[in-house]
């Protein structure tokens, strides 16, 4: 089984494309196809332009919506990311990750 961080050793610059999302540029590798028991998915490996193939800079995005383009997926995550970090921090600091309901009738 190949781990995602191992892709840094396999991919070459010819395998990736440079795209612009907002005012930033990223190198991306896009895979469309089967993933274990999932018949169709889109996986995008993404590095900032200045950090191509640096393992600690790799970001991976996965979706079942294979109609999306790579650019659409990254634009969606870029707009969604502040919401995700807010929810994570709220749960962490306010203890909202624990269920408070004690019965089904509540």
According to the model, what pLDDT value does residue 55 have? Answer: 81
Q: Is it the case that residue 106 has pLDDT exceeding 60?
A: no
Closest by alpha carbon to 65, among 78, 77, 57, 47?
77
Q: What average pLDDT does the segment 10-35 reach? A: 93
Domain locations along the chain: 4-94
Please give the residue that has the higher pLDDT: either 65 or 100. 65
Please give the residue that has the higher pLDDT: either 41 or 7. 41
Residue keyed to tokens 């306010």: 94
According to the model, what pLDDT value does residue 81 have? Answer: 82
Q: Is it the case that residue 28 has pLDDT exceeding 80?
A: yes
Closest by alpha carbon to 49, among 23, 30, 24, 26?
26
Percent pLDDT > 70 in the chain is: 87
Closest by alpha carbon to 24, among 82, 81, 86, 71?
71
According to the model, what pLDDT value does residue 89 have? Answer: 86
pTM, 2 dp? 0.75
């Amino acid at each position: 089984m190949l781990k995602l961080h191992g892709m840094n050793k396999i991919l070459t610059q010819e395998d990736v494309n440079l795209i612009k999302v907002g005012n930033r540029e990223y190198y991306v590798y896009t895979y469309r196809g089967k993933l274990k028991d999932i018949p169709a998915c889109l996986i995008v490996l993404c590095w900032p332009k200045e950090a191509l193939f640096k393992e600690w800079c790799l970001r991976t995005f996965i979706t079942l919506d294979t109609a999306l383009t790579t650019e659409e997926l990254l634009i969606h995550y870029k707009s969604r990311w502040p919401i995700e970090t807010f929810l994570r921090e709220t749960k962490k600091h306010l203890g909202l990750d624990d269920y408070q309901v004690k019965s089904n009738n509540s």
